[in-house]
Amino acid sequence: MKILVLSQYFWPENFRINDLVIGLKERGHSVEVLTGIPNYPHGKYFHGYSALNKSREIYNGITVHRAPMSPRGSGSGFRLALNFISFALFSSIFGPIFCRKRYDIIFVYEPSPITVAIPAIIMKIFTSAPIVFWMQDLWPESLSATDAIRSKTVLKLVELLVRLIYKGCDRILIQSEAFKPSIIHQGGEPDRIFYYPNSADSLYQPVPFPSDCVEKSLVPDGFRVVFAGNIGAAQDFQSIISAADMLKHHKDIHWIILGDGRMSNWVQSEADKRGLSDTFHLLGSYPSEAMPRFFALSDVLLVTLKKEPIFALTIPSKIQSYLACAKPIVAALDGEGARIIDEAGAGITCPAQNPAALSSAVMRVYDMTQQERDDLGANGRKYFENHFERELLLERLIVYLSGLKSEARE
């Protein structure tokens, strides 16, 4: 198949779509990517990139076309809106110029924003290729849940846009089964909606590490609670810091935060204000290749989300990576994410936005024997292999894409 992948985010930014594209190419499919200029999560163009250069690159033998766009800056509402709109606009303009081939499928990756589908619909007009829309996030629900937009009028306009996008897509793939009712409510046709969860890059697996590995020198000795990912409003760092504060008398319990985001400065300031410098550590961002080693050094991996109806429907993508690395998990969230951890027998779950429950869950793992922790990790790895393993999901995706290609030809 000839597949055009459309994503606002792509290598060298660290997103799931990078590995999926490689997987499609490994299976003999012709893949091209239409994306933007890398600027996530720091809000400025990566070194060597600008609006005027590198409009075409090669990534692992895959042609990557880059449309101009405004960087997200500090993540303020205005800068984010400009970032989203500029990518949708310039990709719609430059896409038909850059991507002139005949494609069998246009595959859209949407972790947010949903406006990434606009250039796909434009490309569909020029190529007649059907659109497969892989949804990681629900709009407009996620906008209101994170207080990104409070105006009811604007949210209504976004809802109208969402309905038009769903109507223009030939297949909608959802990372959580719980997304389906919302999509149907917004006009998505039930027979076009298919469950397609995230996997994890093949590098996510249990790994041995030498005693002198770089990652070991970056984390303190003791019981390590490791969080990896975006530091934003959705991740409820208020509860994480409050739980760390409740347990700060346990000097051997260390909270290790790997990642970056628009709340990073607030998190550091709040930790300093509470006197957590000995037990709460923001280490910044590291490449995905380093994550399995950091996870191997952990005693428990942490995933959190705010208490919002939309987040109860979501499966945070870090859950798959955590399960794959065979470490026990503490999950302070509701709904689908917690259900998976419980069903897998991979760790301890507790309600979202409840610092006391989170601190108690961490202590439960802290009080376990090493064998009990290892058993939780093994349970998680087994569940990953049965439900989220990369090769299994790639084969399922190819069946979806091939079926749609055949329908489009009829």
pLDDT score of 359: 98
DSSP per residue, 353-386? T-HHHHHHHHHHHHTS-HHHHHHHHHHHHHHHHH
pLDDT score of 124: 95
258-268 average pLDDT score = 92
For residues 94 and 299, what is the distance between their CA atoms, to the nearest angstrom? 48
Geometric angle at alpha carbon 76, from 233 and 316, rounded to 5°: 30
Given pLDDT bands bounded at 50, 70 and 90, which one contains residue 158? confident
Given pLDDT bands bounded at 50, 70 and 90, which one contains residue 150? low
Place of tokens 């347990």: 247
Whether the per-residue pLDDT at 118 is higher than 80: the answer is yes
Task: Specify which residues 133 forms β-bridges with.
Answer: 108, 172
Ordered by where they begin, the domains of the chain are 2-199+390-409 (3.40.50.2000), 214-387 (3.40.50.2000)
Whether the per-residue pLDDT at 172 is higher than 70: the answer is yes
Of residues 92, 113, 146, the one with CA closest to residue 9: 113
Whether the per-residue pLDDT at 184 is higher than 80: the answer is yes
Q: What share of the chain is helix, strand, coil (3-state, %, to 5)?
A: 45, 15, 35
Reported as a single tens digit per residue, the pLDDT across 206-248 is 998 767 788 988 999 999 999 999 998 889 999 999 999 999 9
Cα torsion angle, 16, 291, 27, 11, sign: positive
Reported as a single tens digit per residue, the pLDDT across 379-404 is 999 999 999 999 999 999 999 999 88
Q: Are 55 and 62 contacting, i.e. CB atoms less than 8 angstroms apart?
A: no
pLDDT score of 156: 83
